[in-house]
């Protein structure tokens, strides 16, 4: 009875001791921000009753500790969760570096084999050379036997020499290729070799069970930037705007066949609202530098030290402000409801109900871990546009076609480069900047050589006269516009007259024709409608009076 009791106590002690499992995480989804990404991963682990230690691998290299969230099913209690570096893995390579390393090993094996064949040829040549010496010093051989031996040596010698030359040529090429691979591998090791992270969990289970562990964390080495394709094939039809994203990540793990969400949010901007402090005026005093414990002196700059992602410090203020963002959404995985997940009707759904817009891409993508951009299409919009031509012949002799788009505010557009196509032809790249855009978004479709504009000074009108102590200069310009297209066009043409900023300089005798004139800016604006092959001539003139003792610089 005592023996049985002792065995039971030992068994209980063994089972009560913490069990350690090692489980690889599988990435389920990623929410990619303008800077950074929120990654959701899961794994399945078998637990004993009591305390368990689970080491989670396949973790990104730059996990932000404060953003780590862990959940487990089947009533398992999470006692602790900690991100650690795995220093037992000496050589953690990106997929590109690993492929280069594999190629180096294959080429090295090929070079070794070639070297062995070359050495064999050298040995055969050495044996033949020694046989030639023997035959030359052996006077006991007959003439026929000597001739037979010489023929045999000659035929073998020639073939082996040829084989040796071929092998050495091939060896040189292989050696050169190996040298290039090793140099590229060295570069990839330097740029892509990263520490390997792991997450160590301590879990408590009330009974032996299998549990699904859900892990969410934020990483900095990822992000996306917008790029657009704008095309107009016909001036009578809507334009097309394709919203794309250049996604990059260098987290140390490949996002394999992953469903992505793109958010227009940027967690690194901080979430704490600024606070105004009193603005006191005082006379200048000698500058005395002082640094708080949260700031590091680097030359003439103050830099925040050891702040969480999304945190920022406000200098020249009595208040230090900081903040960090965490994603609190849950998901549904293997029947476990962790986030409500709706059905998508299209490949990409747009959620703009919050402070920022989220594009939910239903098509899985693979994003390599080397940091290279992966271009992903987000949405395509058919946009009713009003097309017009614009010219400022004083600055450029060409006429530009513009598409004017209204109601663009709800599309979630961010500033970015725009590739422009007109009538099926690439016309160039522009940059969409919405900072100063109001009701209408203007997109340039490039130069149109079918609409001609010619501006010249009317020499017959120009005159310079001296009246008393003043000089009077009169100038006139003529602008001719012609529509060589087969359809009617609307054209906005702008020019200008000088504006005086000095009371001694007077701009008089303005002739602005039928233009709309802005006297404050000196801008003349014509809105023209031109039928096919139609042409119009525009004129304007002005006179500038100033003291003859002075000279106008422009």
pLDDT tens column, 3-40: 444 444 444 444 444 567 889 999 999 999 999 999 99
* CA distances from residue 336 to 71, 81, 172, 396 in whole angstroms, order as listed: 11, 21, 60, 64
Can you point out the beta strands (E) in 385-488? 385-391, 400-406, 416-422, 425-432, 440-447, 451-457, 463-467, 470-483
Asked whether residue 335 carries a pLDDT value surpassing 50, the answer given is no
- pLDDT the model gives residue 295: 35
Asked whether residue 302 carries a pLDDT value surpassing 50, the answer given is no
| CATH number given to 95-191 | 1.10.287
Q: Predicted confidence band at 181 (pLDDT cuts at 50, 70, 90)? A: confident
* CB 274, CB 314: distance < 8 Å: yes
Q: If you average pLDDT over residues 74-86, what whole number do you get?
A: 89
Asked whether residue 216 carries a pLDDT value surpassing 90, the answer given is yes
Q: Mean pLDDT of all residues in the chain?
A: 78
Q: If you average pLDDT over residues 98-107, what whole number do you get?
A: 81
Asked whether residue 286 carries a pLDDT value surpassing 50, the answer given is yes
Q: Predicted confidence band at 370 (pLDDT cuts at 50, 70, 90)? A: confident
Q: If you average pLDDT over residues 246-273, what whole number do you get?
A: 86
Interior angle at CA 280, CA 274 and CA 283, nearest 5? 135
Asked whether residue 139 carries a pLDDT value surpassing 70, the answer given is no
Q: Predicted confidence band at 540 (pLDDT cuts at 50, 70, 90)? A: very high
Q: What is the percent of the chain where pLDDT is above 70?
A: 74
- pLDDT the model gives residue 300: 37
Asked whether residue 313 carries a pLDDT value surpassing 50, the answer given is no
Asked whether residue 368 carries a pLDDT value surpassing 50, the answer given is yes
* Residue in 258, 247, 249 with CA at minimum distance from that of residue 221: 249
* CB 257, CB 362: distance < 8 Å: no
Return the higher-pLDDT residue of 269 and 286: 269
Return the higher-pLDDT residue of 183 and 139: 183
Return the higher-pLDDT residue of 313 and 474: 474
Asked whether residue 267 carries a pLDDT value surpassing 70, the answer given is yes
Instruction: State how far the Cα of 211 lies from the Cα of 158, in Å rounded to an integer.
Output: 73
Instruction: Give the long-range contacts of residues 103-106, CB within 8 A, separation 24 or more.
Output: 103/181, 104/178, 104/181, 104/182, 104/185
Return the higher-pLDDT residue of 369 and 443: 443
Least confident of 325-329, 465-469, 525-529: 325-329
Least confident of 101-105, 126-130, 429-433: 126-130
Q: Predicted confidence band at 150 (pLDDT cuts at 50, 70, 90)? A: low
Q: Predicted confidence band at 312 (pLDDT cuts at 50, 70, 90)? A: very low
Interior angle at CA 508, CA 398 and CA 511, nearest 5? 45
Which range has the top average pLDDT, 150-154, 340-344, 365-369? 365-369
Q: Predicted confidence band at 55 (pLDDT cuts at 50, 70, 90)? A: very high
Which range has the top average pLDDT, 21-25, 127-131, 462-466, 549-553? 21-25
Q: Predicted confidence band at 49 (pLDDT cuts at 50, 70, 90)? A: very high
């Amino acid at each position: 009875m005592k023996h049985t009791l002792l065995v039971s106590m030992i068994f209980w002690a063994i089972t009560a001791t913490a069990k350690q499992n090692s489980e690889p995480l599988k990435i389920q989804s990623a929410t990619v921000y303008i800077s950074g990404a929120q990654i959701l991963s899961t794994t399945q682990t078998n637990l004993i009753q009591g305390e368990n230690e689970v080491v989670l691998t396949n973790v990104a290299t730059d996990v932000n500790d404060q953003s780590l969230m862990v959940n487990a099913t089947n009533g398992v209690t999470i006692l602790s969760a900690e991100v650690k570096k795995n220093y037992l893995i000496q050589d953690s390579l990106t997929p590109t570096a690993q492929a280069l390393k594999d190629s180096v090993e294959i080429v090295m094996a090929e070079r070794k084999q070639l070297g062995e064949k070359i050495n064999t040829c050298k040995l055969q040549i050495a044996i033949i050379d020694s046989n030639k010496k023997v035959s030359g010093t052996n006077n006991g051989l007959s003439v026929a036997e000597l001739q037979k031996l010489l023929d045999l040596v000659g035929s073998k010698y020639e073939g082996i020499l040829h084989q040796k030359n071929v092998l050495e040529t091939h060896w040189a090429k292989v050696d050169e290729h190996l040298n290039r691979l090793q140099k590229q591998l060295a570069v990839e090791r330097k740029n892509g070799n990263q520490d390997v992270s792991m997450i160590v969990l301590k879990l408590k289970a009330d009974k032996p069970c299998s549990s699904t562990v859900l892990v969410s964390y934020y990483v900095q080495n990822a992000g996306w930037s917008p790029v657009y394709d704008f095309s107009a094939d016909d001036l009578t039809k809507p334009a097309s705007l394709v919203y794309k994203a250049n996604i990059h990540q260098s987290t140390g793990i490949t996002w394999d066949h992953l469903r992505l969400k793109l958010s227009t949010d940027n967690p690194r901007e901080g979430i704490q609202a600024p606070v105004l402090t009193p603005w006191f005026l005082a006379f200048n005093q000698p500058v005395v530098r002082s640094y708080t414990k949260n700031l590091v002196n680097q030359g003439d700059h103050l830099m925040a030290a050891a702040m969480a992602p999304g945190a920022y410090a406000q200098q020249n203020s009595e208040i230090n402000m900081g903040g960090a963002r965490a994603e609190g959404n849950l998901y549904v995985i293997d029947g476990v409801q962790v986030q409500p997940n709706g059905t998508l009707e299209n490949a990409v759904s747009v959620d703009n109900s919050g402070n920022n817009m989220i594009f939910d891409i239903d098509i899985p993508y693979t994003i390599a871990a080397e940091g290279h951009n992966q271009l992903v299409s987000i949405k395509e919009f058919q946009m009713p546009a009003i097309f017009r031509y614009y010219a400022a012949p004083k600055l450029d002799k060409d006429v530009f076609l513009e598409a004017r788009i209204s109601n663009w505010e709800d599309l979630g557009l961010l500033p970015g480069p725009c590739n422009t196509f007109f009538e099926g032809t690439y016309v160039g790249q522009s940059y969409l900047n919405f900072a100063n855009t109001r009701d209408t978004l203007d997109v340039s479709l490039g130069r149109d050589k079918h609409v001609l504009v010619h501006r010249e000074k009317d020499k017959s009108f120009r005159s310079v006269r001296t009246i008393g102590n003043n000089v009077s200069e009169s100038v006139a310009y003529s602008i001719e516009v012609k529509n060589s297209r087969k359809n009617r066009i609307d054209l906005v043409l702008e020019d200008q007259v000088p504006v005086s900023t000095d009371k001694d300089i007077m701009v008089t005798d303005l002739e602005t024709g039928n233009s709309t004139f802005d006297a404050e800016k000196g801008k003349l604006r014509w809105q023209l409608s031109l039928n096919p092959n139609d042409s119009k001539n525009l004129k304007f003139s002005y006179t500038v009076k100033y003291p003859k003792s002075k000279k106008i610089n422009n």
